Every structure is written in C-alpha cells, then in structure tokens.
C-alpha cells in the first residue's frame, strides 16, 4: 500500500512549495506563547492545559494539518501534476495511503513535536487537588508525553480528513478552514453533542486518558476517542481512495 516513489515525489513537492513556509508558523506561535506565559506566570497554574490542550488541539494541530494535508494531494490536483502519478499502474489506494502517511509524518514534525517541546517548556500542568489541597502538579514529562500522544492521534485523523477533502473538492483549503473554525473551534467547544464528531476531542480524550488532567476539558473518554478516531480515519481514507479512483479531467464542452 505504501509506495516509496510516490512518497519521495510527494515530500519533494510539498516541501518545494511556497506554502511550506507556513508549516512551522503555528508551532512557532505556540512555543513563543508558552515561553511568554511561563515567564509571566508563577508555577502551579492551569494555563498549560488550556493553551497546549484547547488551543493546541483545536487550532494549532488542525491548521498545520490543513496546510500540509491539502498540500500533499490538493496542490497536485490543482496544478495538474497528479496526472503523472495517476497515469501509471500504481493503485489509487496506494497513492492515497502514501500521501496520507507523508502528511501525517510532516504534521508530527511541525505540530506534535512542538506540542511536546512546549509542554516540556511549560513545566507541566497542574490539577486541583482533593479538598483544600489547592493545585497539584503533573510532572512535565508525563504531561508532555500525554499531549504528544494526543497530538499524534490528531495528526493521523486530521490528515485522513484533509486528504479526503482534497480528493473531494478543488476548494480544499477553504472547506477545511471553515470546518476547523466552525466545527472544531466553535461548535465542539460549546455544543456538547458535537464532541462525539470532533477530532480535537478525540486527541484531548486520549491525552486526558494518560494525564488525567481535568483542565484539558476532554469531552470524551479514551476508549470512545480511540474507537471514533479509528472509524473516522478509515472512513475518510476509504472515501478518498474511491474519489481518487474516479478522478476526472474535464475536457472542453463543444
């Protein structure tokens, strides 16, 4: 299913576009924000969970995955170069899976790893202790590992969705941006029922399963998050494969 030549071309194509300069932008903002908050706040605060959890999972990771996920397939469809891949015996399913793996790998580098670094810089989260015990610290290491694991899951699921969106429409960036801002940022944080279909909450659910940090405000349990995340990933990739198998070039009407 994984084709190394497709992966090599995809990686070269993705990193050679001007859009690649944007990959690191959300991560740089997150790390600078973390450094500023760390410098300006005393220890034992809830901000690391809010900033790295809510902001990181519903803004940083989806935006990074959107830019990357739509680059690996959508940009090639836009400029027509995809035809050189598709006019070969390589299965369309292999093209989708390979591009998805490349996009996920890049998103891990540009979003999940920065989450890990920011979590380590923050010194770890703090949770309210029992009774009047005040805030109890979570070690930076376990907090960072939990967030990194949740971010990995988000990178996988978001990229499956954005690769599918790229195969479905030539306006993948606009559709993806609308989805992130309306669904993931707005509705999933204010309408409880939407959490079941929110990728950021799958990631938060998995991170919370490891860190047991209520300040992450995970709306779903770890098991639900894993199962729903797997279903969404498989369904999105299956749909993307089917769409790419029916990829058409439009001729001019008479």
Partner 1 sequence: MTTIELRNVSRWYGNVVAVNDVTMSIEPGVTGLLGPNGAGKSTIMHMIAGFLPPSRGELTIGHGSSWRNPDVYRQVGLVPERDSVYAFLTGEQFVVSTAKLHELPDPAAAAARAIALLDMAEAADRKIATYSKGMRQRIKVAAALVHDPEVLLLDEPFNGMDPRQRLHMMDLLDKLGSEGRTILFSSHILEEVERLSGTIQVVVAGRLAASGDFRAIRRLMTSRPHVFTVRSSDDRLLASTLIRGTPIAGTLIRDTSAGRPAVTAVELTRAGLQVRTSDYGAFCRDIAVLARDHDIRLREVLPADESLESVFAYLVAD
Q: Which residues bind partner 1 (CB under 8 A)?
A: 3, 5-6, 8-9, 12-13, 16, 79-81, 83-92, 245-254
Rounded to a whole number of angstroms, the minimum distance from the CB of residue 170 to partner 1 is 14
Rounded to a whole number of angstroms, the minimum distance from the CB of residue 3 to partner 1 is 8
Q: Half-sphere exposure of residue 39, counting CA atoms within 13 Å on the CB side?
A: 6
Give the span between the Cα atoms of 141 and 134, in whole angstroms: 21
Rounded to a whole number of angstroms, the minimum distance from the CB of residue 171 to partner 1 is 19
Phi-psi region for residue 217, left (φ > 0), alpha (ψ -120 to 50) or beta?
left
Rounded to a whole number of angstroms, the minimum distance from the CB of residue 251 to partner 1 is 3
Phi-psi region for residue 41, left (φ > 0), alpha (ψ -120 to 50) or beta?
beta
Give the span between the Cα atoms of 219 and 225, in whole angstroms: 9
The nearer residue to partner 1, 85 or 220, going by C-beta atoms, is 85
The nearer residue to partner 1, 4 or 192, going by C-beta atoms, is 4
The nearer residue to partner 1, 22 or 94, going by C-beta atoms, is 94
| 200 neighbors 184 (Cβ within 8 angstroms) | yes
The nearer residue to partner 1, 142 or 242, going by C-beta atoms, is 242
Q: Half-sphere exposure of residue 153, counting CA atoms within 13 Å on the CB side?
A: 30
Q: Whats the size of the chain, residue-wise?
A: 254
Nearest Cα neighbor of 66 from 152, 182, 163, 194 is 163
The nearer residue to partner 1, 13 or 153, going by C-beta atoms, is 13
The nearer residue to partner 1, 88 or 212, going by C-beta atoms, is 88
Nearest Cα neighbor of 147 from 40, 61, 26, 22 is 61
Rounded to a whole number of angstroms, the minimum distance from the CB of residue 246 to partner 1 is 7
Rounded to a whole number of angstroms, the minimum distance from the CB of residue 6 to partner 1 is 7
The nearer residue to partner 1, 78 or 217, going by C-beta atoms, is 78
**CA separation, residue 242 to residues 4, 30, 139 (Å):** 21, 36, 45
Rounded to a whole number of angstroms, the minimum distance from the CB of residue 166 to partner 1 is 16
């Amino acid at each position: 299913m994984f084709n190394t030549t497709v992966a090599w071309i995809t990686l070269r194509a993705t990193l050679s576009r001007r859009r690649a300069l944007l990959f690191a932008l959300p991560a740089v903002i997150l790390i600078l924000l973390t450094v500023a908050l760390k410098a300006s706040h005393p220890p034992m605060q809830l901000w690391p969970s809010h900033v790295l959890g809510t902001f990181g999972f519903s803004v940083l990771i989806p935006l990074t995955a959107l830019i990357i996920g739509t680059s690996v397939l959508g940009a090639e469809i836009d400029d027509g170069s995809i035809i050189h891949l598709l006019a070969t015996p390589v299965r369309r399913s292999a093209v989708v899976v390979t591009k998805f793996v490349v996009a996920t790998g890049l998103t891990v580098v540009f979003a999940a790893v920065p989450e890990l670094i920011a979590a380590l810089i923050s010194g770890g989260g703090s949770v309210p202790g029992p009774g009047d015990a005040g805030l109890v610290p979570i070690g930076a290491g376990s907090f960072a590992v939990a967030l990194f694991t949740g971010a990995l899951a988000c990178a996988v699921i978001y990229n499956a969705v954005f690769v599918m969106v790229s195969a479905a429409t030539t306006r993948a960036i606009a559709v993806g941006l609308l989805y992130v801002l309306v669904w993931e940022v707005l509705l999933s944080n204010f309408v409880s029922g939407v959490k079941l279909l929110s990728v950021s909450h799958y990631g938060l659910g998995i991170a919370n399963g490891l860190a047991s940090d209520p300040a992450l405000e995970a709306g779903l349990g770890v098991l639900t998050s894993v199962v729903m995340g797997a279903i969404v990933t498989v369904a999105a990739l299956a749909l993307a494969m089917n769409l790419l198998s029916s990829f058409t070039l439009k001729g001019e009407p008479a």
